[in-house]
Amino acid sequence: MIITVTMNPAIDKTVEIDALIPGGLHRIQRVEYDAGGKGINVSKTLRALGGESIATGFLGGNAGRMIEQVLRDEGIRTDFVWVDGETRTNTKVFEKNGAVTELNEPGSVIAQEQKLDLLKKLEDYAAKDVLFVLSGSVPKGMDAGIYAEITQLVHVKGAKVLLDADGELFRRSLEAVPDMIKPNHVELADYAALGEKTTEAEILRVAKELTASGIDTVMVSRGKLGAMMVRSEQMLSAPALPVNAHSTVGAGDAMVAALAYACERKLDMEECMRLCMAASAGAVTTIGTKPPARTLVDELMKQVEIKR
C-alpha cells in the first residue's frame, strides 16, 4: 500500500498568455484547474500508471472539498484531516517562450490538535509493506522536523518512507534516515554546500555518502541533464529524453510516483530507472499538472538510455 501525504495541498490554476508584462493588461488564452500539491500529484500519477494509493494530509474549505471530489472522481482513495480556513490556490503563468511564473498562496494554519490527528492516521496505516510518500512544503503550524517525526513514527511499525523535500525540511528529515529520497541536483548541492557550479562527480559523491548513512535509494533529478540513481555501491544514470515539452511543473512528482510504483512492485534497478525517466519526461508534455498516460510512459521507456 502507498500513502501519499500532502501537508500543503492546492488547487493549481494554470493560465497561458503570450508574454508577462509587469503592470500590463494580459489576455488569458487558456485556463486549467487541477487538484494539486506534490503528494496529490504523486497519487494522480500512480493512478495513471495503474497503481493505487491513499491520499492524505490537510484540506479546508470549498477548495478542499473540490480537491477531494476530483480525487474521488479519478478513483483515488482519500483520508484527509479537515482544518479551519481555505486550502490555497496556486497560480502558474505560462508564457509562449516557455517561462513560468508561479504565485503560491500560503495555505491554512495547522493547529496542534489537527497535527496530532494526522499523526494518528499515519500511525494506524503504518505496517510492513506500506510506503509513505512525504513530499512538498508544510503549512504554518508545522515545523521543519515534521517529516523526521513521521519517518520515525512509521518506521517503528515496519513501514518505509520516500522523501521529496528541500531546504531545512530536507535536512532535518535526513536525521530519521528515510528509505528513499528524490532531491534534484540543486537541492542536493544546497544541502552539501557545493555552490552553483556542481559537477556530476560531486553530486555522485554526496549521493553515495547518503546511501552509506542508511538511505537505501537516492534518486537525483538533474533537469535537462537527466537523472542518476544510487543504491549501495551501484549507480545508474540516464540522459533526459527528447520530448515536446510544455512545462517542467510536475516532472519531479511524476518521478517520485514512478519510484514508489517500482518499489511496491519490486522492479529491478534498471527497470525502475527506465520507469522514472519515462514518467518524468511524459509529465513535461502535459498541460497543467496532469499526469502522463501509461501508454506514453510505456513508449518512452523504450527510449531510455541507461549508463552504468
| Whole-number Å distance between alpha carbons of 237 and 92 | 31
Instruction: Let me know: does 91 contact 15? Beta carbons within 8 Å.
Output: yes
Closest CA to 287 of 257, 244, 255, 252: 244
CB-side exposure of 222: number of CA atoms within 13 Å? 23
- DSSP letters for 41-92: HHHHHHHHHT---EEEEEE-HHHHHHHHHHHHHTT-EE-PEE-SS--EEEEE
Altogether, the residues listed in the chain come to a count of 308
61 sits in the region (left: phi over 0; alpha: psi -120 to 50; else beta) called left
Alpha carbon dihedral 153, 154, 155, 161, in 10-degree steps, equals: -120
Catalytic residue among 84, 253, 268, 298: 253
Residues 6+ apart with CB under 8 A from 206: 188, 191, 192, 194
Q: Is 253 a catalytic residue?
A: yes
**Torsion 202-302-269-4 (CA) sign:** positive
Residues linked to residue 260 through DSSP beta bridges, in sequence order: none
What does DSSP say about strands 77-78 and 2-6: parallel, antiparallel, or unpaired?
A: unpaired
Active site residues: 253
